[in-house]
Amino acid sequence: AGVAAMAEGEGLLSVDYEVSGKVQGVFFRKYTQGEAKRLGLVGWVQNTSHGTVQGQVQGPAARVRELQEWLRKTGSPQSRISRAEFRNEKKIEVLEHGDFQIVK
């Protein structure tokens, strides 16, 4: 009930992301998952074949914005982020994921 109550009034957002730079082999997915869970967000993260990290995040708008900022500027301690792109941002009625997973 906590998440539903928190989401009322500000709405839920879903957004796809892709982060470029030195983001593979530096625990970027693990840290992204940790940060997303800390913020109470759901979604997924995976490495791509072209050296980026991509995924989707869903949750209360303000929290999604916090993770976007984190993906843009912070990342994992050893990562070097050159670019974070966000697309397919949309308002959703219900969360489409049960938690935040690392996809192989």
Catalytic pick from 29, 38, 65, 83? 29
Q: According to the model, what pLDDT value does residue 29 have? A: 98
Q: According to the model, what pLDDT value does residue 92 have? A: 96
The answer to whether residue 2 sits within a structural domain is no
Q: Which class for 6: exposed (0-12), middle (13-18), buried (19 or more C-beta within 10 A)?
A: middle
Which domain CATH number covers 38? 3.30.70.100
Q: According to the model, what pLDDT value does residue 48 have? A: 98
Question: How many domains, in total, are found in the chain?
Answer: 1
Catalytic pick from 38, 47, 87, 88? 47
For this structure, is 29 an active site residue? yes
Q: Look up residue 15 and give its two tokens.
A: 């957004």
Range of the domain at 22: 12-102
Counting as low any pLDDT under 50, the low residues of the chain are: 1-2, 5, 7
Q: According to the model, what pLDDT value does residue 7 have? A: 44
Instruction: Say what the pTM is.
Output: 0.89
The answer to whether residue 3 sits within a structural domain is no
For this structure, is 47 an active site residue? yes
Other beta carbons within 10 angstroms of residue 39's beta carbon come to 18
Q: According to the model, what pLDDT value does residue 9 have? A: 54
